[in-house]
Amino acid sequence: MVAPFRDSETFSVTVSEDHELFRRSVREFLERDVMPYVEKGEREGTIPEEVLQSINQMGLTGISIPKEYGGQGGDMLSTVILTEEITRVWPSLAARLGIVSLFSIPILLHGTEEQKKRYIPPVAKGEKTPALANTEPTGGSDVAGMKSLAKRINDHYVINGRKIFITNGGIADYYVVTARTSPPGDKRWKGISMFIVEREMPGVKVVGRIETMGLKSSNTAELAFEEVKVPAENLIGEEGMGFMYAMETFDGSRPGVAAQGLGVAQAAVEKMASYAIQRSAFDAPLISYQMVQEKIAESLTEISAARLLTYWAATLHDKGRKDEAIIASSMAKYFATEVAEKIVLRAISIHGGYGVTTSTGVERLLRDIEIMKIYEGANDIQKLVIIRETARRLLGIKM
């Protein structure tokens, strides 16, 4: 036993030449066609339409979606590499595109064929913007404490409730919405169901955009669902299984958040190294001082460890080793985002006064990574997932 896993074969990472060629083409595209828009987009709080169109033309919006539903059919590792590279250039753009997975995973896993054919292709092609409306004002991490209600009436459900901190919330065409269809019973999570809701359905309201400290170009909103009539055929999977579908969705999307951490860390390392080479102090380049060298060396080591952890989690997903992938994904999300924060702080330190100005872009990375540490399961929750899954798998103990 190699705790918390059963054998050392678990720790293999498979990166092909195709993956590396994909990375190079994506990086070249982002630096050429996306990077010029970042500063303006962050100031205005939006991602220009021309950027989104170029992303769609490259086929990057639906990279992980099967080809039969309009996507590229890429594996999890390709999705992670893409997310890492996008975040390196523009974290807000990565946040927006990451919602494609959160929306599509539950439909692809548990939706009907009609749901898949109707809702997945326009999202994969970038024709429609998706969102996952799960978090509520009364509790983010406590999904089982959900207050939103969905009542079955003949051939439809009527949804009432509020959702908050919804990425793409104010601009989405389609939402995957969780709501309670029956009382909790013996387990708090039971009775929650999952639905596909269209923006144009009467009663769907954007309460307002939420201004956050980072990811300024990502649209984060509060939503209200007031007597929203949703056709019964828009129920995803089985009634009462929405909580489990949501957890399964986060398990599948978590390596993407780890990859966002990698992208932030990579951008910070590049900025600190470049500045240390170009900037002089006391008649010598900053890079010549041992304290600066140590900061860069520590950062390079930590980002390499985080990248291996993230690519490993993606590889486990691609191999279909679900139980191990859940633990690895939580480890990767927690570790990569924590490491990114440390690296950004070092980069700010090396930049000195310039590190806290908006002109260098370093302080923006700090604001962005603080959000990544929280969404899709705060890092403290990831630690609980790691220990609970380990106890369940190896010891048969439910915690």
Which amino acid is located at 218 in the chain? Answer: S
Q: How far apart are CA 83 and CA 78, in angstroms?
A: 9
Going by C-alpha positions, the residue among 101, 79, 94 that lies closest to residue 38 is 94
How remote is the C-alpha of 77 from its chain's centroid? 14
Q: Which of 42, 84, 376, 389 is catalytic?
A: 376
Q: Identify the residue whose tokens are 């999952």.
A: 194
Q: Are strands 174-180 and 156-167 parallel, antiparallel or unpaired?
A: unpaired
Q: How far apart are CA 239 and CA 178, in angstroms?
A: 11
Q: How far apart are CA 372 and CA 258, in angstroms?
A: 9
Q: Identify the residue whose tokens are 């990698």.
A: 262
Q: How far apart are CA 81 and CA 19, in angstroms?
A: 8
For 299, the 3-state DSSP assignment is helix
Which amino acid is located at 133 in the chain? Answer: A
Going by C-alpha positions, the residue among 267, 265, 286 that lies closest to residue 351 is 286
Write the CA distances from 156 to 81, 106, 389, integer angstroms: 41, 20, 37
Long-range (24+ apart) CB contacts under 8 A made by 115-120 are 115/196, 115/233, 115/234, 115/236, 116/69, 117/69, 119/174, 119/196, 120/65, 120/69, 120/70, 120/71
Write the CA distances from 203 to 154, 161, 184, integer angstroms: 19, 11, 26
Q: Identify the residue whose tokens are 């709080």.
A: 45
Q: Burial level of 388, CB count in 10 A (0-12/13-18/19+)?
A: middle
**Strand stretches in 102-237, DSSP E:** 130-133, 149-153, 156-167, 174-180, 192-198, 204-209, 220-231
User: Is 376 part of the annotated catalytic residue set?
Assistant: yes
Catalytic residue annotation: 376
